[in-house]
Amino acid sequence: MPLSPEQQAEIDHLRARARPTLRAVSEGMEKHLYRAHPVLDHGFVRAIDYMGDDSAIVQAARVSYGAGTKHVQNDEGLIRYLMRHWHSTPFEMCEIKLHVKLPVFVARQWIRHRTANVNEYSARYSILDREFYIPEPEQLAAQSSINNQGRGAVLEGDEAVRVLEMLKNDASRSYDSYEAMLSQEGQAGLARELARMNLPMNIYTQWYWKTDLHNLFHFLRLRADAHAQYEIRVYAEAIASMVADWVPLAYAAFEDYRMGGVNLSAKGIDCVRRMLKGEEVTQESSGMSKGEWREFMGVIG
């Protein structure tokens, strides 16, 4: 289970300590605070703290544009304008701090998003738990034959059973060796900082991850996308559901212009204009490479 009884008791205690505040409060995010959203087999995401709401974005924008803007556009219209024209700083006025429990290999992919403050559980100081990510059978897939970063067909039958057993056995054996090497209970073994190097990449770690809304949207655009690796995508989707409640106007604009929208190159726009005039455009006459043309046709159908 993602949460132990002790962890759940702590969450219940924190949620029971309601206090008055003069801060801007998002009712949508308040229902998520401290609560753990289960992800994968042992992971979770929970919001620890946040700052700002939709009104904070609008307030910051009107400081930069002048008070007159307030009489011209409503809040939703202004937020959509900011998103549409790639104005980033007003969205940076909102921040969120998350507690995430995730497999190490997911964390190493996640940490590439460097515009965040991160503090990770220390395996030099503490002993890691015996918890590993073991994929569900439907997530056991072969390497894609057309995408060097992606998955192909799902493994079936004896091959799926063989791979699943290898994952379970290797993880368990590595942890047994880790425990056996540790200096504890009078045993003169290895220091924790050395013993940890024998652990597999599917063991779980935890961290606090704090970022602003602009950079969080960038993370979600890449990691909540259907092409992202499943194991990080499910974390992004759990975060997205919280963000949608936290800043509903900003998230709706994000869904419309970033997740649901597309960017066309100058060549792509030229091809669309030629097609609208009735011209038959091919890959050869488009000026695009085969890869570009394939992506372009995927967008316009």
Active site residues: 223
Using the structure block, give the residue that is written with the tokens 């259907």: 226
Question: Residues 162, 182: contact at Cβ < 8 Å?
Answer: no
Residue 218: partners with Cβ closer than 8 Å, 6 or more residues away: 113, 115
Written as six digits, the tokens of 246 are: 């936290």
- For residue 288, the 8-state DSSP code is -
**C-alpha of 14 from chain center:** 25
Question: Residues 98, 62: contact at Cβ < 8 Å?
Answer: no
Using the structure block, give the residue that is written with the tokens 């602003």: 212
| Neighbouring C-beta atoms of residue 255, cutoff 10 Å | 16
Question: Residues 15, 33: contact at Cβ < 8 Å?
Answer: yes
* Cα-Cα-Cα-Cα dihedral sign, residues 240, 99, 35, 19: negative
- For residue 128, the 8-state DSSP code is P
